[in-house]
Amino acid sequence: MKNRKSKYETFREKIKIILYGTNTILGRMFDLVLLGLILLSVLLIMLDTVEGISQKYHEQLLICEWAITVFFTIEYILRIISIQKPIKYIFSFYGIIDLLAVLPMYLSIFFPGASILSIVRALRFFRLFKILHIPQISHQSAQLKDAIEASKEKILVFIYFVLISTVIIGSVMYLVEGKESGFTSIPMGIYWTIVTLTTVGYGDISPQSPLGQFIAALVMILGYGIIAVPTGIVTAEFAKNTLKNNTVSGKKTCRKCQSQLHFDNAKYCYECGTQLPNN
């Protein structure tokens, strides 16, 4: 009995290395196959919505989707079985996505049309970084994340102000232009304001009266200055990160001689050679 258990254990161990490991050849190969299948699956779901293709190849596409879904299901079950703490995996970010990637297909048995929700499989692409495990890239994406994180609050405050402005501008445009020009309601006016301030400018709604066009021109020039703000925020954060290693921010103090003028990436005090603390 112990022997059999041990066999199962070895099997579990092997599965775990293949599924979670990125160091062995087998683990890496499985990851690449997985990525390929995710890409294939996302493309198939997309193509199935294109009328010309769907009419001709719907059956073949459906079979492929089911095959990939079954594969993903087995993979999901094996991931739960092989890991020590299955609960932790199930409720992790990747665990939830892995489940969401297979659920819609099974739901489509009862609710036809649900299969299209399988497109959330696209989120599994995020795993690429884990798989590739190139330190340079994960460093880059960490830097990206840091800069965005640091500027998040400022940008939120900024968007809050912009949103209040859009309500006011949208209402003014609704009053000035009226229903003939497509400004059928205040929410429509707000939609137009956002389309204009972000410089997207579809042109599905556009002011027709001279006064409306004058206000629109003012809004665009305002948007000109406004678009500079989030860019400025993010750029300043990037510049800070990029310049960090070259600056003397005075955050490091030598424990021995108490000198402060150390570079941020300095390891030893330039006065007495004592090792400096990491921040």
Residues in a beta bridge with 275: 268
What is the rounded end-to-end Cα distance, in angstroms, of the chain?
A: 54
CB nearer to a second copy: pick between 6 and 60: 60
Q: Which is nearer to a second copy, 106 or 270 (CB)?
A: 270
Least Å distance, CB 115 to a second copy, is 12
Specify the residue for token string 């599994």. 124
Q: Which two tokens stand for residue 113?
A: 């049309």
CB of 161 to a second copy, least distance (A): 8
Closest CB 176 distance from a second copy, rounded Å: 12
Residue recorded with tokens 């775990």: 16
Instruction: Select 74 or 144, whichever has its Cβ closest to a second copy.
Output: 144
Kindly tell me which of 21 and 182 has the beta carbon lying closer to a second copy. Answer: 182
* Token couple for 67: 């095959």
Residue number with CB closer to a second copy (3 or 231) = 231
Q: Are 174 and 209 in contact (CB under 8 A)?
A: no
Q: Measured from the CB atom, is 26 or 218 closer to a second copy?
A: 218
CB of 251 to a second copy, least distance (A): 9
What HEC string does 121-167 produce? HHHHHHHHHHHHCCHHHHHHHHHHHHHHHHHHHHHHHHHHHHHHHHH
Report the nearest approach of a second copy to the CB of residue 99 (Å).
17
Show the CA angle centred on residue 268, arms to residues 265 and 274, nearest 5°.
Answer: 150
Distance set, CA 190 to CA 58, 162, 181, 209 (Å): 41, 11, 14, 18
Q: Measured from the CB of residue 83, what is the shortest distance to a second copy in angstroms? A: 25
